[in-house]
Structure 1
Amino acid sequence: MIKAIGYAAQTSTAPLAPMNFERRTPRADDVAIEVLFCGVCHSDIHQARNEWGFASYPLMPGHEIVGKVTSVGADVNRYKVGDMVGVGCLVDSCRHCEACESNLEQYCVEGPTQTYASKDRIDGTLTMGGYSSSIVVSERFVLSIPATLDLASAAPILCAGITTYSPLKHFGVKKGDKVGVLGMGGLGHMGIKFAKAMGAEVTLFTRSEAKAEEARRQGADHVIVSTDAKQMKAAAGRFNFLLDTIPVQHDLNPYLQTLTFDGVHILVGLIEHMEPPVHAFNLVAKRRVIAGSMIGGLVETQEVLDFCAEHSITCDIEMLDIRNINEAFERVVKGDVKYRFVIDMATLKA
């Protein structure tokens, strides 16, 4: 066993606090990793506070992990000691269903094993995430970090990055397409960068005129203030794709009207029921589609890391001392971060 330390919640109402625990002795296909940086995702907060209703405790969050290989199992051939690697939202899956065989492990028919708060498929122990000194993961679920990427800002690519890249790639966004991005938080600002790098004309939809300058700095060509009825009316029938990163209930109907025929509204933020209801006419009259997308498989996650290296795309981050994690959670809830906290795990040693 490998002795480790991390920050975990013991109950849904307890703050995160230091916890000593043990990682498993590496299996034949395992890679042992010293965690150097770990991003803070809003889903970490939802899970720690059991806001989705299926958390298990103790719960140690973190699924945007970058680190250095410290040892490998006997059957590992892709990685060696000293390699810089990443671990995202998944650490295992059934590996034999149609989804897994199609490199879509996130849609594993039996359900993928999450990086934290899931049962290990072999020994039944609870997975612990990247708010920790180390992690041990099967080789298939480890990713190579390109040498040209800054390690800290690469961490959020493993969740915020793949979550926005995957649907843009899947639905075929290409040069000349008009893409609207709804919301500009951790997901939205990456969506702007990816759509722009794919050659699209990119527009940010925001409730705040104050975000216009920042949106253009991120690469947006245009900004539409969604609370301005005149601007929304002028945008009718204009867009091929909408990448919707808004994580709370919102009215999809005005946005659907901005899509051209065969336009696709892609949900990546909302994971609860739609309220108010979608008016079917907004779909039927123009053969529009509402679609959803969840992170990406391992092949595609490696692809987005390489894409970021090729196009010099990084996530905008604020570095964090892990001792301030609970305050950071409150700031994330308030939207007071541009655009992702990343924990410097060297602070864990303090």
Structure 2
Amino acid sequence: MPTTTRALSVPSAGAPFEAVDLERRDLRDDDVRIDIAFAGICHSDIHTVRDEWGAAHYPIVTGHEIAGTVSAVGDGVTKFKVGDRVGVGCLVDSCGECENCKNGQEMFCSKGSVGTYNSQNYDGEWAAGGYSQQIVVTERMVLRIPEGIELDEAAPLLCAGITTYSPLRRWGAGPGKKVAVVGVGGLGHMAVKLAAAMGAEVTTLSRSSAKADDAKELGSSRHIATSDEDAMKDARGSFDLIVNTVSADLDMETYVRLLRPNGALVNVGLPPSKLSVSPGSLIGGNKVLTGSNIGGIGETQEMLDFCAEHGIGATIEKLDASDTTTVDTAYDEVVAGNVRYRYVIDTATIPA
């Protein structure tokens, strides 16, 4: 029989959060039931709840940065047992059979991967995310959270962590490489921590110097205010890799000029408008303008293990959701850039 849990749901665009009963499916043979302890607030949650990307399916329970413990397993589960510390990220299913799935890129499943929320399962039911006290997920999509990372600090790693880890690894961040991170927010602060732990020399870029001290504590050796035209000119040709984490419209030409020959500018933020760059700016230095979309399950586990080895967790502010308007306010604070650096909901506080 399905089980009922408590969750935070939005009934329609523009409506506030409310505490509701949420039905989770009964365990299938390959399912894991997780008692959720913490759920991070990602900017994608906000875009979806506010229907800024379109196609939001209400009522909706968001949250794809999930950390907790296993409370039950199906008869066919072999990798997890009751009591294990686990997480769930942006995916809750994929076909597991196509070339992309077999290559560890489940997010590009040819059949269509199933997102943790606002996505239809293969049985036609709509997935509900991690702003809840329990979730049931197929074993293939469950990640093990190693000892050495607190669960509250681990939750944001399931999106913000892998979203920044994947391009850093793919483009060779490490000793001898100069990496710039655009934006010091939920994604940016993780990019700085990870790039520094990989051994790269890290520079942060943001509109002002307000976060310069924070950036240094996170692992940056230099901070550039992008509003300082002279500093930006001086930085031209400096970086092997730039990871752009902001969702605002930026002049890509300005950032391409900061790359060394053969350098790459990787976008992980999702601005509302199309990017524009002259092909000559890329051809002139063998430069690459590209994007990166989370990471597969295997790479996400690799990221979690790396974080445990290097003592890395997200920098968080915990939220008590006993007053559900706290979450509404948190959304506004994220948009305003006032969080240091990820809000995490303590799901035990969701009202009964």
Give me the TM-score of the superposition, normalised by structure 2. Answer: 0.97
Contact 1:267 1:293 (8 Å CA) reproduced: yes
Report the residue type matching 1:15 in the other structure.
P
> In 1, distance between residues paired with 2:113 and 2:272?
20
Identity of aligned residues (%): 48
- Structure 2 residue identity aligned to 1:24: R
Q: Give, in angstroms, the shift of residue 273 of structure 1.
A: 3.6
CA distance in 2: counterparts of 1:260 and 1:12, whole angstroms = 44
Query: Counterpart of 1:152 in 2: which secondary structure?
Result: helix
Could you say which residue in structure 2 is the equivalent of 1:278?
277
Q: Larger deviation: 132-141 or 247-256?
A: 247-256
- Paired residue for 1:209? 209
Match of residue 304 from structure 2: 305
1:172 maps to 2:162: no
- In structure 2, the residue matched to 1:184 is 184
Runs of 4+ more than 4 Å apart: none
Amino acid at match of 1:301: T
Q: 1:268 corresponds to which residue?
A: 268
Q: 1:231: which partner in 2?
A: 231
Tell whether the 8 Å contact from 1:2 to 1:25 is kept in structure 2 after alignment. Answer: yes
Per-residue CA deviations over 1:284-316 (Å, capped at 9, x if unaligned) read 111100010011110011111110000011110
Residue 316 in 1 paired to residue 315 in 2? yes
> Is residue 163 from structure 1 mapped to residue 163 from structure 2 by the alignment?
yes
Check the 8 A contact 2:249/2:271 in 1, yes or no: no
1:174-231 residue CA offsets vs partner (Å, 9 max, x unmatched): 2110001000000001101111111111000111112211111111011111111111
Q: Which residue of 2 aligns with 1:293?
A: 292
Distance in 2 between the 1:168 and 1:272 partners? 24
User: Unaligned regions of 5+ residues in structure 2, if any?
Assistant: none
For residue 253 of structure 1, give the secondary structure of its aligned residue in structure 2.
helix
RMSD (Å), alpha carbons: 1.1
Q: In the TM superposition, what whole-angstrom CA distance separates every residue of 1:69-118 from its partner, at most 9, and x where no partner exists? A: 11100100000111111000100012112111101111212321000111
Check whether the contact 1:250–1:274 (CA below 8 A) recurs between aligned residues: no
CA deviation vs aligned residue, 1:133-180 (integer Å, no higher than 9, x gap): 100000000010101111101000000000000011112222110001
Q: Is the 8 A contact 2:114 2:120 kept in 1?
A: yes
Distance (whole Å) between structure 2 residues aligned to residue 304 and residue 259 of structure 1: 26
- The answer to whether the Cα contact below 8 Å between 1:238 and 1:258 also exists between their aligned partners in 2 is yes
Q: Distance in 1 between matches of 2:350 and 2:233?
A: 51
- Which secondary structure does the structure 2 equivalent of 1:233 belong to? helix
Name the CA distance, whole Å, in 1 between partners of 2:68 and 2:151: 8
CA distance in 1, matches of 2:203, 2:111: 38
Alignment-mate amino acid for residue 219 of structure 2: G
Distance in 1, matches of 2:280 and 2:69, equals: 53
C-alpha contact (below 8 Å) 2:19/2:351 kept by paired residues: no
In structure 2, distance between residues paired with 1:112 and 1:338: 31
For 2:350, what is the secondary structure of its paired residue? helix
Is the 1:99–1:107 Cα contact (8 Å) retained in structure 2? Answer: yes
Q: Secondary structure at the match of 1:331?
A: helix
Number of equivalences: 348
Q: 2:346 aligns with which of 341, 344, 347?
A: 344
For structure 1, the 5+ residue unaligned runs are: none
1:67 aligns with 2:68: yes
Amino acid at match of 1:243: V
Deviation at 1:21, TM superposition (A): 2.2
Q: TM-score, normalised by structure 1?
A: 0.97
Tell me which of 311, 325, 328 is aligned to 1:326.
Answer: 328
